[in-house]
Amino acid sequence: MVELPFSYYGYMEEFNVPLSEYERTIIGNIYIGGKLHIERSQDPDHHMFVELGVRLPTTPEPGMGEGYAHSNGLQSELSDRFEAFAYYNDWSIPLIGNYVRTIRDPVAIKFRLGTIWVERKKSENMLFLLYGLTGLYRTSAIEGYLGINGRSPYYGNNPIFFDDGISQLRAGVGRPFNEVVPSIYIRKTLGENYNQIVDWGYGINIEYRW
């Protein structure tokens, strides 16, 4: 698996004249990793897989112009891929287990539990606990999900496990077209520490499966 995150920020003055010095597109921290699928052939309603990878410190240090695009990308994905734009000098290593169980076809439930280790150059290393619980609806005509994903700091920078954590309520719906699956999603940040910064997030996702 390879992920190339990028963020664009633009600012329009009065009369729709672009203020070019604030207009930036930056590349985030590139992710390289893989998935190990653990099949249970005696029970096809169970599916387990493990994700392991590394995020390289490829995002630029926030400057006067880059800082806006950096903040824009950072706030777009607070709970699941926070490291895509955070920690521009540092490496991060996620190790995440996923377990999907079919309740009654086409309804399933997905559990997600893992850690992310952040190796920092200029301050104390950090360790986060990741967690998630999502309900899935999957047919050949439509797919949807509703659940909660979050993270809490466990080690580094004097963490307060619950108060410093980030959780998001997530929902989405998509329509498969063979290998291509376009979808729309919406996210609501929970907790007083982050919902003052990010109220709602919504967008379009296009996935290619093979």
The string of DSSP letters for 147-204 reads: EEEEEEEEESSS--TTTT-EEEEEEEEE--BTTEEEEEEEEEEESTTTTTT--EEEEE
- H-only helix segments in 59-171: 66-76
| 60 preceded by a cis bond (ω within 30 of 0) | no
pLDDT score, position 183: 97
Judged against a pLDDT cut of 90, whether residue 15 lies above it is answered with no
Average pLDDT over residues 144-164: 86
Mean pLDDT, range 56-62, rounded to an integer:
86
Q: What is the DSSP letter of 18?
A: B
- pLDDT of 129 over the 80 cut: yes
Higher pLDDT, 142 or 210: 142
Residue 7 bridge partners (DSSP): 26
Q: Which residue has the tokens 């379009």?
A: 204
Contact of 209 with 183, CB cutoff 8 Å: no
Buried b (16+ CB within 10 A) or exposed e, 71-88: ebbbbbbbbbbbbbbbbb
Position with higher pLDDT, 122 vs 59: 59
The answer to whether 27 and 5 are in contact (CB under 8 A) is: yes
pTM (predicted TM-score): 0.82
pLDDT in tens, 74-118: 887 777 788 998 878 899 999 999 999 999 889 999 999 999 999
**Is the per-residue pLDDT at 44 higher than 70?**
no
Does residue 59 or residue 145 have the better pLDDT?
Answer: 145
Calpha distance 194→100 (Å, rounded): 29
- What is residue 21's three-state secondary structure? helix
**Count of Cβ atoms closer than 10 Å to residue 5 Cβ:** 20
